[in-house]
Amino acid sequence: MKREVCGWTGRILKVDLSLGSIEDIDTMEYAEGFLGGRGIATRLYWECVAPETGALDPENALILMTGPLGATGAQGASRFEVVGKSPMLLPEGFCYGNLGGYFGPALKQAGYDGVMVTGRAAESCYLLIQDGRAEIRDAAHLWGLGTYAVRDRLKADHGRRAHFVTTGPAGENLVRTAALITDHEGSATGGFGAVLGSKNLKAVVALGSGRPRVADPKALTELNRLTIRLSKRGTLRMPLPKDQMRYVGRASCYQCGLDCLRGAFRTASGKEVVRKCHSMVFYMPWVAMRPGEKIDTAVDATKICNDLGLCTMEMDNVMGWLARAWEAGDLSAEEAGLNIGEIGSRAFFERLTEMITRREGLGDVLAEGLLRTGERLGERATRHFTEDVSGVGLGSSYSPREYVINALLYALEPRQPIAMLHEVSYLIARWLLHRIKPELSPTTAEVFRAAATKFWGNDKAWDMTTYEGKAEAAMRIQDRTYMKDSLVLCDCAWPIMDSFNTPDHVGDPNLEARIFSAVTGLESDEEGLRAYGERNFNLQRAVLLREGWKPLEGDEPASFNFPEPILHDLLNPRLIVPGPTEEPVSVKGNVLDREKYKEMRAEYYELRGWDRETGLQTAETLNRLGLGDVAEALKKRSLVR
């Protein structure tokens, strides 16, 4: 008798827009090995996207995937993953993103764990998924609209329970840095908005009345209560000028009761918005330099980007580059087509974003992304790039010069590995918060050491002044993140490493496995789930190698980390970290030691079961992980030992 499926819906939608075909894939053929979310999406990419495929070619796949915990009531489980070849990377290559809001749960309520779209429609269209059925619909009335107008039209047509993923005019015009946008101000960078636009696909819409089965609802309810209780550990917020903008309450995603960076904020003028993290503050420094300019301009800059489908991190870098190049005389106002002296004003930002979105003048160059702008304009452009200019994401935040573990986390990923960086930085931030105001955080130096030892695998990992124990710590953080991105769990909430509400203020690394077992009925523990993370990480490594990633050469953080000292960090202005004693240690002026990094990397290769000298995976390790077919494919390319 076939076991009842709990957690998953059991179906993935496969759509070919060139053929107009729609069919189902059995989720469970993939779930046993790759769990869900990022894991299954990466496996589908491995099977369906050839290395030579271009990011904007019809053959590229845009894969949206939920996990087994979504829409079950599990806390912090409303997110979904996007995977595909990114036009934002230079060169183009495999990439991924992670979005919150309501679309992921809505997709499962509509009867699907995920959707994979290939091909290119002859005319603009959108995909409607409703109660186990899907159809390709005409989108002539949506094409050209911003994301907020798309939201209003879709909800008018399909009701308030309809949730969506879309892009703005930037994606339609194949701006390489265009973002995917979902409801509740969710977004994903990586150029996936351009991938959506390249397929003449304006939106994917989901609604339904279903709900995935839960194996043990009573146990899940108890675990949800425990999770909410343990999550009380000191809420982190972006620093804001409180006389101009204040936090006024939660802005939770679907079925989530956990504290989060996402919140509702109100400006002094009374404007209320939902905002989170960097996207909330990226224009504020420029606005602050213009006397009389209200903070509302900075708040609205985020809305403008979301509406057009532009990445706020890229826009942050673009504005910095424009200002520096103009001040140095390497870019004239005439060439820019802008009055750069007005940067920080609403009019300047509106004009710049329209130029990029519509590919007008210099905007057409910038629409290719700053890295390609550097290729086109040469040294007069690149000499004004900062450390933050990278392929996808910001290149210097949570710097390896400040937190040594992060050197390996940056080095092994095709984009800024923000969820991994958060595991390190959030724990340190709560340690810093405790030092400033002890009642706001339980994370003393002793708690930091205990939590780091428990979650990162060894008693050397917590000392941020040494390279010892960091290889194992990085490996465990990677495996947990890949597991988390496959369940799919929110990195604002997970893992729960510290808490006001445990006797020793240290969290439980087995909690995710207990929730997984309650939802799916499949017994697991921390190491059982970690095995999924290890497998999925190795699968992504194989994808990268197949697409041209160079081991050793590629397995390094950005080169500036070695010669350039770290001098500032907005979120840790004193640049202090936990050291060998109770007293903090300043890392101001630190550089990454190249020889020590190489030793740490070699240790990491050994821990992974890879070849120490080349960084290539071994057939033995891939076979142990159930990736024998991957090993055979890599063997044909001489990419495995």
In a domain, 399, yes or no: no
Among 348, 382, 416, the domain boundary falls at 382
Over range 379-403, report the average pLDDT. 94
Assess contact for 278 and 422: CB atoms under 8 A: no
Over range 111-140, report the average pLDDT. 98
Over range 435-463, report the average pLDDT. 96
Same domain, residue pair 194 and 277:
no
Residues listed for the chain: 641
Among 327, 348, 382, the domain boundary falls at 382
Same domain, residue pair 409 and 369:
no
Same domain, residue pair 282 and 342:
yes
Over range 312-329, report the average pLDDT. 96
Asked whether residue 2 carries a pLDDT value surpassing 60, the answer given is: no
SS3 21: strand
Asked whether residue 239 carries a pLDDT value surpassing 90, the answer given is: no
In a domain, 319, yes or no: yes
Distance in angstroms (rounded) separating the CA atoms of residues 407 and 600: 10
122 confidence band (pLDDT: 50, 70, 90): very high
In this prediction, what percent of the chain has a pLDDT beyond 70?
100
Residue 299's CATH number: 1.10.569.10
Opening angle at CA 116, ends 366 and 538, nearest 5: 85
* Residue numbers of the domain that contains 485: 405-635
Distance in angstroms (rounded) separating the CA atoms of residues 598 and 431: 29
Query: Is the pTM above the cut of 0.85?
Result: yes
Residue 171's CATH number: 3.60.9.10
Per residue in 218-232, pLDDT (tens digit) is: 999 999 999 999 999
Same domain, residue pair 37 and 137:
yes
Distance in angstroms (rounded) separating the CA atoms of residues 63 and 14: 9
Asked whether residue 287 carries a pLDDT value surpassing 50, the answer given is: yes
Tokens representing residue 557 in the block: 């953080």
Residue 493's CATH number: 1.10.599.10
Tokens representing residue 422 in the block: 């958060």
Per residue in 504-535, pLDDT (tens digit) is: 999 999 999 999 999 999 999 999 999 999 99
Among 148, 179, 207, the domain boundary falls at 207
- Specify which residues 14 forms β-bridges with: 23, 116
Over range 313-325, report the average pLDDT. 96
Asked whether residue 238 carries a pLDDT value surpassing 80, the answer given is: no
- Structural domain tally of the chain? 3
Same domain, residue pair 550 and 589:
yes
Per residue in 31-63, pLDDT (tens digit) is: 999 999 999 999 999 999 999 999 999 999 999
Same domain, residue pair 341 and 479:
no
251 confidence band (pLDDT: 50, 70, 90): confident
Please report how the helices 312-327 and 370-377 are oriented relative to each other, as an axis angle in degrees rounded to 10.
30
Same domain, residue pair 177 and 271:
no
Tokens representing residue 577 in the block: 């970290």
Please report how the helices 346-358 and 295-308 are oriented relative to each other, as an axis angle in degrees rounded to 10.
10
In a domain, 372, yes or no: yes
The greatest distance separating any two alpha carbons of the chain, rounded to the nearest whole angstrom, comes to 75
Range of weakest confidence among 199-213, 401-415, 570-584? 570-584
Closest CA to 100 of 72, 130, 78: 78
Q: Is 432 exposed, middle or buried (0-12, 13-18, 19+ CB in 10 A)?
A: buried
In a domain, 182, yes or no: yes
1 confidence band (pLDDT: 50, 70, 90): very low
In a domain, 435, yes or no: yes
164 confidence band (pLDDT: 50, 70, 90): very high
Over range 336-351, report the average pLDDT. 96
Assess contact for 75 and 158: CB atoms under 8 A: no
In a domain, 215, yes or no: no
Same domain, residue pair 583 and 439:
yes
Q: What is the pLDDT of residue 235?
A: 77
- Strand order across the beta sheet in which 133-138 lies: 133-138, 125-130, 201-207, 163-166, 180-182, 186-188
Same domain, residue pair 564 and 609:
yes
- Number of Cβ within 10 Å of residue 397's Cβ equals 19
Assess contact for 191 and 176: CB atoms under 8 A: yes
Opening angle at CA 68, ends 163 and 128, nearest 5: 25
Per residue in 583-600, pLDDT (tens digit) is: 999 999 999 999 999 999
Assess contact for 443 and 432: CB atoms under 8 A: no
In a domain, 641, yes or no: no
Asked whether residue 549 carries a pLDDT value surpassing 80, the answer given is: yes
Residue partners of 626: CB distance under 8 A and separation at least 6: 33, 535
Same domain, residue pair 351 and 418:
no
In a domain, 395, yes or no: no
Q: What is the pLDDT of residue 263?
A: 84
Over range 118-128, report the average pLDDT. 98
Distance in angstroms (rounded) separating the CA atoms of residues 106 and 53: 31
Same domain, residue pair 166 and 295:
no
- Phi first, then psi: what are they for 189, rounded to 5°? -85, -175
- Specify which residues 86 forms β-bridges with: 93
3 confidence band (pLDDT: 50, 70, 90): low
Same domain, residue pair 117 and 58:
yes
